[in-house]
Chains A and B, each alone.
Chain A
Amino acid sequence: MSNKGARVSNKGARASNKPINTLSLYFQREWQLMFRNTSSLIQPLVFFVIIALLFPFSLPAEGELLQRIGGGVIWVSAVLATMLSLESMFHSDYQDGTLEQMLIHPRSLSLAMLGKALAHWTATGLILTLFSPVLCVTFNIPNEQIWVLFAGLLLGTPSLSLIGAIGAALTVTLRRGGVLIAIVILPLYIPILIFGAGMLTQSAQGLEVASQLYALAAILALSITLAPFAIAGALRVTIN
């Protein structure tokens, strides 16, 4: 009798450990945390806009030049804004001990980290992407290229969050990890930058951009499948 009861409760435990539950649980948790601290939602966006606006000030005020480099500028700003938000990704969880609880919990750590990274993307990359058309207008980028840039950012920024989380996880225990994240992560961002910004150059010349979109999608598929394991591994290494 008691044996049966144990089996039932065991089943219940297993049901709550379903992969999708782990994923959505951590995703929701991140969202709740972010809405209680809205400054973390606004900061990357403000940073993104300020960086992008520094370029027109530092370059000769020629409309045609700005139009040509606008796409690249927006991409670089998105990369920098994502990178700056990475440092705080695991920081408070590490400080209050939540991260250690995640590590010893029987739930899949990789899936939990996937949920966390995706939530990070919705708070940084997605918001930047949604706002990018406004910046495009200030750079006088033609309408059809705005859509090209939008699609590129939408496919590219999730990879930025996922790959960046590996660097954030590696440096979470360090007191000044910010510069180290930049050194470790920026070289890994280069392919995404090349395909994303290259798309705009191609479409400005009236060429097809499908191949670059496929490449960005391939990188995204790779980072969704592999990065969570690397993030989990990095956390297991750095937190004893």
Chain B
Amino acid sequence: MNPISATWNFLSNTYHRLGSPREFYTISRYTTPVFGILFLTLSLIGTYFGLFVAPADYQQGDAFRILFVHVPVAWMSMFVYVVMATAGAIGLIWRIKMAFVVTICSAPIGAAFTALALLTGSIWGKPIWGTYWVWDARLTSELILLFLYFGVIAVYYAFEERKTAEKATALLSVVGVVIVPIIHYSVEWWSSLHQGATVFAEGGPKMPTEMLLPLAFMAVGFMFFYGYALFLSMQNRVLENEHKSRWVREMVISQGKQ
């Protein structure tokens, strides 16, 4: 067997194993702590370099250092939405139980990232722009994103039957992902004060390496935090969803004996 097809087989095997709640639970008990440790190490390194090593901004002084939290959480707020909607689409098309769990567990985490992005942004805005809030394009579309997350969460808890709730939530998150780019551009053309793209700007990042490096560490670290929080919350929900199945009961009994 050639290496490519072997890798492919391994990947598809892992993917299908993750599709079963029981297998997911077993695998995630090993991976979740790893995600947690990676998050802590990367974000601690990022924080150290961001606060002590990176030079102060020539205009904003030390006030810019909130960037190392603000920018990663803002990225994550959008990334989580895409993950949530992709998982929702997978769940609706291939009827995979675990995909719905990813959608539902991602929503509160994404909402938290969005709220943090808004909060850190307004803390940063006060000294630099002189105001906590402006009806600016980025701020407004981030606020709408927060309300979209709220809508997704509200739909899940409105239904009594879990399977209906899961599918309705998945459908809404897929509809939302079609709308998000439209919202983004409509608000962009409407007004803007927020600075434009800096890291992914044309002709390379407009930022010195001493600032880019801690930002990259923080961004990857927060990605692992998402994985950590998502897997913890998914473990919980899997146990709750499968509480009638045999493996959960056996596991609970065997843990009780220890």
- The interface-forming segment of A28-36, A47-55, A120-128, A184-192 is A184-192
A224 in the interface (beta carbon within 8 A):
no
Return chain A residues, CB-CB under 8 Å to B158.
171, 174, 177, 180
Residues of B within 8 A of A186 (CB): 147
Q: What CA separation (Å) do A184 and B144 show in the bound complex?
A: 11
The docked-state distance in angstroms from the alpha carbon of A39 to that of B164 is 33
- Stretch of B30-38, B170-178, B201-209 at the chain-chain interface: B170-178
* CB closest residue in chain A, given B185: A191
Complex CA gap A166/B172 in Å reads 9
With both chains docked as a complex, state the minimum distance between the C-beta of B142 and any C-beta of chain A, in angstroms: 12
- In the complex, the chain B residue whose C-beta lies closest to that of A240 is B164
Q: Do B147 and A183 touch (CB < 8 A)?
A: yes
Taking CB atoms, residues of chain A closer than 8 Å to B147 are 183, 186-187
A209 → chain B, closest Cβ, in Å? Answer: 13
Q: Are B175 and A219 in contact (CB under 8 A)?
A: no
The answer on a CB contact under 8 Å between B183 and A191 is: yes
Q: A166-B175, A171-B158 are in contact. Are A190 and B183 (CB under 8 A)?
A: yes
Q: How far is the CA of A188 from the CA of B178 in the complex (A)?
A: 10
Write out the residue numbers on chain B whose beta carbons fall within 8 Å of the beta carbon of A234.
168, 171
CA of A208 to CA of B135 in the docked complex: distance in angstroms?
23
- Given A187-B151, A190-B144, A237-B168, A174 and B159 contact (CB-CB distance below 8 Å): yes
Specify which chain B residues have a CB less than 8 angstroms from the CB of A194 in the assembled complex.
186-187, 190
A191 and B186 contact, CB distance less than 8 A? yes
Residue in contact with B186 in the complex, picked from A170, A171, A215, A226, CB distance below 8 Å: A215
Query: How far, in Å, is B161 (CB) from chain A's closest CB?
Result: 8
Contact of B151 among A184, A215, A237 (CB under 8 A): A184
CB proximity of B54 to chain A, nearest CB, Å: 36
Chain A residue numbers with a CB within 8 Å of B144 are: 187, 190
**A contact residues, total (Cβ < 8 Å):** 27
A190 B168 Cβ-Cβ under 8 A: no
Interface membership of chain B positions 147-165, coded 1 if the CB is closer than 8 angstroms to chain A and 0 otherwise: 1101100110011000010
- Complex alpha-carbon distance, A171 and B165, angstroms: 11
The 8 Å CB contact of A184, one of B172, B182, B186, is B172
The closest CB in chain B to the CB of A239 belongs to: B164
Q: Are B154 and A190 in contact (CB under 8 A)?
A: no
**B179 in the interface (beta carbon within 8 A):** yes
Indicate if A148 sits at the interface (CB-CB under 8 A). Answer: no
Q: In the complex, what residue of chain A is closest to B163 when comparing beta carbons?
A: A240
**A197-217 to B contact mask, C-beta < 8 Å, 1/0:** 010000000000000000100
Which A residues, 134 to 181, have Cβ-Cβ distances below 8 Å to chain B?
A: 166, 170-171, 173-174, 177, 180
Confirm or deny: A98 has a beta carbon within 8 angstroms of a beta carbon on chain B: no
In the complex, which residues of chain A have a beta carbon less than 8 angstroms from the beta carbon of B155? 170-171, 180, 184
Pair B171/A230 contact, Cβ less than 8 Å? yes
Kindly list chain A residues whose C-beta atoms are within 8 Å of the C-beta of B187: 190-191, 194
- Tell me the minimal C-beta distance from A185 to chain B in angstroms: 8
Asked whether A237 and B164 contact (CB < 8 A) given A171-B158, A184-B151, the answer is yes
Query: What residue in chain B is nearest A197 (Cβ atoms)?
Result: B190
Q: Which residues of B have CB within 8 Å of A174? A: 158-159
State whether the Cβ of B97 lies closer than 8 Å to any Cβ in chain A: no
Q: Are B159 and A188 in contact (CB under 8 A)?
A: no
Contact in complex: A183, B175 (CB < 8 Å) = no
Q: Are the CB atoms of A198 and B175 closer together than 8 Å? A: no
3 smallest CB-CB distances across A and B, nearest first, come from A191-B186, A237-B167, A184-B151
CB pairs A–B below 8 angstroms (29 shown)? A170-B155, A170-B168, A173-B159, A177-B158, A180-B154, A180-B155, A180-B158, A183-B151, A184-B172, A188-B148, A188-B175, A190-B144, A190-B183, A191-B182, A191-B186, A191-B187, A194-B186, A194-B190, A195-B186, A198-B190, A222-B178, A230-B171, A230-B175, A233-B171, A234-B168, A237-B164, A237-B167, A238-B164, A240-B164
**Which A residues fall within an 8 A CB radius of B?**
166, 170-171, 173-174, 177, 180, 183-184, 186-188, 190-191, 194-195, 198, 215, 219, 222, 226, 230, 233-234, 237-238, 240
